[in-house]
Chains A and B, each alone.
Chain A
């Protein structure tokens, strides 16, 4: 019975995701666009032999950020505004069931994103040689971290403020995330800040995994910390009604 309820809710979450054109833009067009543009236009001047080797892990991290933080957070904020979260709270679905359904939806979208990004990457000459399993682990840890940030904002801010902050945060983290260009290109003080943020932590962890390098514990440690602290704060401060 409970599984039926969660699946029905997950179906509706997916349906709603498909109907939000602006969220599809940020989940698909932005990552794929960055991947194609920076692979073809050598704006990066990276030390890597081919930009696409640098870009694929970064764009995978970007995709996780767009879905788990921006799309999930904005949608949840408006559901809170519309009283949907409250209404679902008195059904047998329960809050746990709702969270499970949203998790399924986020993972489903991320899988489609990953297929699209990897497909585009392969077409641009990237090769998946090693570290796929570990990269997957980091992407899942990143999902938990970013979902925590997105839900923390969604559960504490007004819906419009949440919308603005989530989008602004997306841009800031994109610029400071080591996703489209290397962190070393940033001014030193920004690089220090970037190191403490979850975006660069995820991008660098995934990049190291796919390169077959050893785990960069400075970055991975930051990522794990965000994955613990952000959901804990969300659970503590989330308000189901605006």
Chain B
């Protein structure tokens, strides 16, 4: 399904609000048919960037091509081909889900069936409930359905699972994977690191209007210097004894939060084996073990200014 031309190409994008540089020389490429994640702290320029791509805002400098088109000059040709899920709102409080979906369906050449979509996002039981009476998670799902109704080839999702319960969240992730498998390109902004890790083919971390790290989730987490072993177990283990058993200095084993342990040493096979023996001899149950790799969250905190502060 992927074609040679990228779905989104941004080069040296700048966007200023007065003296504030919301976006400051940002470049990125989103290939057709992939899920691309844009991460960043609040105010990093994520939403501004996406709104330039959606045609809501005009770039001050740089070039922007979305599906090969200029989002503003070619807006009338671009809008039928994109689907947009805004971070919050965008819904008439006084309408019912089916009414909104049927109206939006009439805006597109080949819309999806509104009732099928309501089933797909799990709103079949709420199709006749006024939007203002829906829960936050249900409103999010309706916003998602509205983004899908025009069968877009490019889908923008701004924090799509914020406010959703775990079931709805898992269902939404599966929906995004299915869309990707059917050839839809997805541009996703999120705060949820697990969402980014699970869903995205490529990620870019943005801070102060610039990209500070980019790659696949594996590249981002492997490329870092996560030289330690972390595990979770009942709180209050004797850290000094463990350090001794691992032939390490006492201060190399710590319990930064109760039940979360960090061994500041290279995760060699010998060290992991010694750790296992220590736990077996004391009949200690592990609930989590991670060696060598940083989590995406750790990478995120390291490369963004919020983490440095």
Q: Do A and B come from one complex?
A: yes
Report yes or no: A12 in contact with B103, Cβ–Cβ below 8 A: yes
Report yes or no: A8 in contact with B55, Cβ–Cβ below 8 A: no
A214 at the interface (CB under 8 A from B): no
Which applies to chain A's interface (DSSP): helix, strand, loop or mixed? helix
Q: Nearest residue in A to B102 (C-beta to C-beta)?
A: A8
Complex-state Cα separation, A9 to B109, whole angstroms: 15
In the bound complex, residues from chain B placing their C-beta under 8 Å from that of A4 are 106
Complex-state Cα separation, A87 to B86, whole angstroms: 7
In the bound complex, residues from chain B placing their C-beta under 8 Å from that of A90 are 54-56, 79, 82, 84
Segment of A78-86, A116-124, A148-156, A205-213 in the binding face: A78-86
A91 in contact with B104 given A12-B99, A15-B95, A86-B56 (CB within 8 Å): yes
Query: Which of B54, B84, B91, B107 is the most central at the interface, judged by chain A CB atoms within 10 Å of its CB?
Result: B107
Please provide the chain B residues from 60 to 114 with a CB less than 8 Å away from any CB of chain A in the complex: 75-76, 79-80, 82, 84, 86, 88-95, 99-100, 102-104, 106-109
Interface residues in A, total, Cβ within 8 A: 24
A103 at the interface (CB under 8 A from B): no
Report yes or no: B88 in contact with A83, Cβ–Cβ below 8 A: yes
A87 in contact with B89 given A8-B103, A15-B99, A94-B76 (CB within 8 Å): yes
Report yes or no: A16 in contact with B94, Cβ–Cβ below 8 A: yes
Report yes or no: A92 in contact with B103, Cβ–Cβ below 8 A: no
Report yes or no: A92 in contact with B108, Cβ–Cβ below 8 A: yes
In the bound complex, residues from chain A placing their C-beta under 8 Å from that of B89 are 82-84, 86-87
A221 at the interface (CB under 8 A from B): no
A5 at the interface (CB under 8 A from B): yes
Complex-state Cα separation, A82 to B82, whole angstroms: 21
In the bound complex, residues from chain B placing their C-beta under 8 Å from that of A9 are 103, 106-107
In the bound complex, residues from chain B placing their C-beta under 8 Å from that of A91 are 79, 104, 107, 150
A89 at the interface (CB under 8 A from B): yes
A93 at the interface (CB under 8 A from B): yes
A239 at the interface (CB under 8 A from B): no
Report yes or no: A82 in contact with B106, Cβ–Cβ below 8 A: no
Report yes or no: B94 in contact with A19, Cβ–Cβ below 8 A: yes
A1 at the interface (CB under 8 A from B): yes
A50 at the interface (CB under 8 A from B): no
How many A-B pairs with Cβ below 8 Å?
Answer: 72
A84 in contact with B91 given A90-B56, A90-B79, A94-B76 (CB within 8 Å): yes
Report yes or no: A82 in contact with B90, Cβ–Cβ below 8 A: yes
In the bound complex, residues from chain B placing their C-beta under 8 Å from that of A93 are 107
Quote the shortest CB–CB distance from B48 to chain A (angstroms).
13
Q: Nearest residue in B to A20 (C-beta to C-beta)?
A: B94
Report yes or no: A82 in contact with B99, Cβ–Cβ below 8 A: no
Complex-state Cα separation, A1 to B94, whole angstroms: 26
In the bound complex, residues from chain A placing their C-beta under 8 Å from that of B109 are 1
In the bound complex, residues from chain B placing their C-beta under 8 Å from that of A79 are 92
In the bound complex, residues from chain A placing their C-beta under 8 Å from that of B79 are 90-92, 94
Complex-state Cα separation, A220 to B91, whole angstroms: 40
Quote the shortest CB–CB distance from B32 to chain A (angstroms).
20
Q: Nearest residue in A to B83 (C-beta to C-beta)?
A: A90
* Interface flags, A110-136, vs B, CB<8A=1, else 0: 000000000000000000000000000
A86 in contact with B92 given A9-B103, A94-B76 (CB within 8 Å): no
Report yes or no: B86 in contact with A92, Cβ–Cβ below 8 A: no
Quote the shortest CB–CB distance from A77 to chain B (angstroms).
13
In the bound complex, residues from chain B placing their C-beta under 8 Å from that of A84 are 89-92
Query: Which of B55, B100, B108, B150 is the most central at the interface, judged by chain A CB atoms within 10 Å of its CB?
Result: B108
Q: Nearest residue in A to B130 (C-beta to C-beta)?
A: A19
Complex-state Cα separation, A44 to B16, whole angstroms: 60
Complex-state Cα separation, A32 to B39, whole angstroms: 58
Report yes or no: A82 in contact with B91, Cβ–Cβ below 8 A: yes
Complex-state Cα separation, A219 to B88, whole angstroms: 46
In the bound complex, residues from chain A placing their C-beta under 8 Å from that of B102 are 8
Please provide the chain A residues from 1 to 27 with a CB less than 8 Å away from any CB of chain B in the complex: 1, 4-5, 7-9, 11-12, 15-16, 19-20
Taking Cβ atoms with an 8 Å cutoff, the residues of B that contact A are 54-56, 75-76, 79-80, 82, 84, 86, 88-95, 99-100, 102-104, 106-109, 146, 150
The 10 sampled A-B contact pairs (Cβ below 8 Å) are A12-B92, A12-B95, A20-B94, A82-B89, A82-B91, A84-B92, A87-B86, A90-B55, A90-B82, A91-B79
Taking Cβ atoms with an 8 Å cutoff, the residues of A that contact B are 1, 4-5, 7-9, 11-12, 15-16, 19-20, 79, 82-84, 86-87, 89-94
Please give 19 more A-B residue pairs, beta carbons under 8 A apart, in addition to A1-B109, A86-B90, A94-B75. A9-B103, A9-B106, A11-B103, A12-B100, A82-B91, A83-B88, A83-B89, A84-B90, A84-B91, A87-B86, A87-B90, A87-B146, A90-B54, A90-B56, A91-B104, A91-B150, A92-B80, A92-B108, A92-B150
The 10 closest A-B pairs by CB, nearest first: A87-B90, A83-B89, A8-B106, A83-B90, A90-B84, A5-B107, A92-B80, A12-B103, A91-B107, A92-B79
